[in-house]
Structure 1
Amino acid sequence: MPLSRRTFLAGGAAAAAGLTGLTGLTGCGSRSSLGAANELSMWTWVGSVNDDLISQAEKSIPGYDTLKLSMTRIGSNYKTKVLTALAGKSLVPDIVAINDDVATYFPNADQFHDLNELGAKEREADFLPWKWKLGITPQNKMMAYPMDTGPTALFYRSDILAKAGIDIDPAAIAEQAPDWDSYIALAQKIKQAVPGSAITDNINSVFAYRMAQQPKRYMAADGQYIGDQDHVREAFDLAVRVVKDGLSANAQDGSTDSKAVVSNGKLVAFNAAVWWAQLGPKNAAPKTKGNWRVAAPPGGPGNRGGSFLAITKYCKNPQAAFAFISWLESAQNQAQAFLDPVLFPSTPASYTDSRLSAPDEFFGGQQIVDVFAESAKKYPGAFFSPYDSIIGSPLSAELVNIETGGKSPDQAWADAQRQIERELTRAGAI
């Protein structure tokens, strides 16, 4: 599975295949929420919320002075622990954070409050429409409230591209590489001037970020499997093409090379999500400060990542819980969360906040929020199904087999489709 900000911060989460045995959690048994009567309990993972805002709520919930927040940060196996608590119907947190795999919780939607019944509908206009829609179940229940997003852009090393005679102005880069074909042509020009240059860490990143630009993914809203259709094969073949053209650094996720290719200058450009700014160059290559820029992504705007908040059926005070999450995810507070822990807002009003629009010295003083804001606003959105993880895993594994083992792309595609059919059949999806 390609490295993401979520896997980096939270550790491993349960596979979607394991979710099927936990559906239909309602039934007989005791039901109780976690925490004392005067507090709302909340579970989330490390790096998902702004600590200063949480500290305020830990003193008192906004509008509910007699209540306070009790938050637990779970470092690993987060999803497994949430689903286990729901299955046990005892000591369930009042509020839970949910990752970008929010659709995998939809089979258990009866374990959560419909946020529209608590007033969410009145706040819909404050959020990106596609992000809001992701938290709504196929039965039109508002199960999850938007937190951050993961808009994409093209990161590039301005100093290395300048050596290749490339106009490094972000607008010029966007004009030279509006699509993946022209981006690959630009990369080949750079590689001729600076041998060894790469535009991706590995094959899976190309596939993941191309899929992140698509208006559809692996399943249709009516439950039809479409992961064998042209739009997925196009992303698959694009990833193979980048590798065959010698433009991948072949630094597999989790390897020691994954950071080295950033620090040693091999990765000269990378189409990635906003959170990669911190995970990638700022973390792995601090000495490159001032040399990075961002431009509009080749192939169009995309999104990879972003999370949600949900209120469980066991919540002691659902109205207070909604007051808290709507306060936490207001435009003003999402702007604060962008500063720490670098969560890109789902509220467009945040994009003009001075805390976001300030020049970023790591990126040569560029106001990078402008690029990501355009990507976030123009992203077409796509339907995510509860089965996306078990569909994506075989495709990811076979792409690695191509890059590291020299497997035939056609054979890899066929083998992935056979594995997907087995997994979806086992899960009862087809």
Structure 2
Amino acid sequence: MRSRKHPTLSASALALTTALLCSSACSGGIGSGDSDALTIWYGSGSVPTSAVKGVQKQFPDMKIKLLRTSDLETKLKLALQTGSGAPDVAVIGNSIASYTSIASKFVDLTSLGADPTKDYVAWKWANATTPEGRVIGFPIDTGPQALFYRTDLFAKAGLPTGPSEVSAMTSTWAGYRTVAEKTAKEGFKACDAPQQIYALQLAQKGQGAFDSSGTYLGDGTLARQAFDYSARLLSDGLCVKAEPYSTDWSSAVAQNKLGAFVGPAYEAPLISGAGSPSGVWRVAEPPGGAGSKGGSFMSILSSSKHQKDAYAVVKWMMNSTNQTSGYVKDGLFPSSLDAYKDPDLTAPQPYFGGQKAGALFAEVAENSPTVLVTPQDATVEGAISGALTSVAQGKESATSAWKAAQEQIAEQRKNG
């Protein structure tokens, strides 16, 4: 893996950095201004609500300062560069690999008792482990993939509606394509945008953009096949061409134009948020096999004066009970293996017509292969996503878009 380069800050930039950090972490909040407090930075919706609300009560003898921080990772990186203003604990997203070149800034959690061989899904531990074996993040949530679909629209298209039957019908990508063709003829689509379909086809094979020796794999046969498959969904009119979290996506769901899509567990709340009725949606196994992506971590800074206490706090906040609550109340799917056995997680869900959707997601998360995450992934993902967008907009053919993306990736890798 190549090292991440950090720019040198000028004196004026340092002053600005200090001001920005102080505006975020030095004013307001629990225990503000108290250097003896254990400070935790977290982003909105990144940590189970039960953990945030209950941690001070759980540790009454500690002073815990919880700060919900916007642009958290930008501020964290600036704090690490200036050597001032960093918290004791910070929540870091799937970009955790970008910190491997400065891994010494974080505590190796195994030194505090973490065991990356148990309790949480293996691939989450692996994603937070540096090439040298340093574990710099404690697992929070995961993103097991699945096929979400509407039973009423499937019935109109003459398709099976039970999760087991649909899972069998779409167990392969060829099967999913057949379903997408049938739904398109009935006036609704089974694909939103194919970026996640592309990523899932690689994830379920355990392939990332690079291997452990740093060799680039994103221009190989598997990646090209996944790209061509995804691009054909677009060119053949089988996708609504709307990205999750967009207004167009919500409109497509609300207007019954999008009746199925491949996506991670954390996108489930988007369906109800779009106004789609309760009881008609179900969840099937992901086409092609188990695959997961994303999720965040809690990391302890080496500069912390409270490392042992910080680990005790993090371990409690991320226990199975809090992670289960994080799914039920906040839509954060757990990484804790014990949470997958919790009756609250495996209970029938009224919105999904009484289906035990959590149990299906748990099986996918636990069975997903480990995919190597590297600091250069964002470059590759951005180029591929842009290429598929060009195909969706009719600006380029799949062949020319693929070629342009690979040239862009090569240039960016060359320039570091």
Q: Secondary structure of the residue that 1:347 maps to in structure 2?
A: coil
Does the alignment pair 1:66 with 2:61?
Answer: yes
Does the alignment pair 1:346 with 2:341?
Answer: no
Change (3 A) 1:253 1:340: closer
Whether the 8 Å contact between 1:153 and 1:372 is mirrored in structure 2 is: yes
The equivalent residue for 2:15 is none
Does the alignment pair 1:179 with 2:177?
Answer: no
The equivalent residue for 1:230 is 221
Q: Aligned equivalents of 2:348 and 2:36: distance in 1? A: 43
Whether the 8 Å contact between 1:273 and 1:303 is mirrored in structure 2 is: yes
Counterpart of 2:97, as a letter, is A
Change (3 A) 1:322 1:46: same
What is the aligned counterpart of 2:184 among 184, 191, 196?
191
Q: CA RMSD in A?
A: 2.2
What is the aligned counterpart of 1:411 among 400, 406, 415?
400
What is the aligned counterpart of 2:6 among 18, 21, 28?
21
Q: Aligned equivalents of 2:326 and 2:318: distance in 1? A: 9
1:151-171 CA deviation, whole Å, 9 max, x = no partner? 011100000001112121110
Counterpart of 2:132, as a letter, is Q
Deviation at 1:78, TM superposition (A): 2.3
Whether the 8 Å contact between 1:203 and 1:400 is mirrored in structure 2 is: no
**Runs ≥4 residues deviating over 6 A:** none
Q: Secondary structure of the residue that 2:6 maps to in structure 1?
A: helix
Normalising by structure 1, we get a TM-score of 0.87
Where does 1:113-124 land on structure 2 (aligned, <5 Å)? 113-121=107-115, 124=117
What is the aligned counterpart of 1:112 among 91, 106, 109?
106
Whether the 8 Å contact between 1:249 and 1:266 is mirrored in structure 2 is: yes
Q: Which runs of 5+ in 2 are unaligned?
A: 9-17, 19-24, 27-32
Deviation at 1:255, TM superposition (A): 4.7
1:168-216 CA deviation, whole Å, 9 max, x = no partner? 1110111111111111112212333x12x21221232332333343311
Whether the 8 Å contact between 2:203 and 2:291 is mirrored in structure 1 is: yes
The equivalent residue for 1:245 is 236
Deviation at 1:254, TM superposition (A): 6.3
Counterpart of 1:209, as a letter, is L
1:197-244 CA deviation, whole Å, 9 max, x = no partner? 212212323323333433111111111111111121111111111112
The equivalent residue for 1:281 is 271
Whether the 8 Å contact between 1:218 and 1:227 is mirrored in structure 2 is: yes
Q: Aligned equivalents of 1:414 and 1:344: distance in 2? A: 36
1:118-157 CA deviation, whole Å, 9 max, x = no partner? 1112x74111111111111001001111111110111000
What is the aligned counterpart of 1:84 among 72, 78, 90?
78
Q: Aligned equivalents of 2:217 and 2:397: distance in 1? A: 22
Change (3 A) 1:272 1:252: closer
The equivalent residue for 1:401 is 390
Does the alignment pair 1:55 with 2:50?
Answer: no
The equivalent residue for 2:204 is 213
Identity of aligned residues (%): 33
Q: Aligned equivalents of 1:418 and 1:42: distance in 2? A: 41
Change (3 A) 1:334 1:124: farther
Q: Aligned equivalents of 2:361 and 2:316: distance in 1? A: 24
1:304-338 CA deviation, whole Å, 9 max, x = no partner? 22110110011121000000111111112211211
What is the aligned counterpart of 2:154 among 145, 150, 161?
161
Higher mean displacement: 90-99 or 351-360: 351-360
Q: Aligned equivalents of 1:422 and 1:253: distance in 2? A: 29
Deviation at 1:256, TM superposition (A): 3.0
Normalising by structure 2, we get a TM-score of 0.90
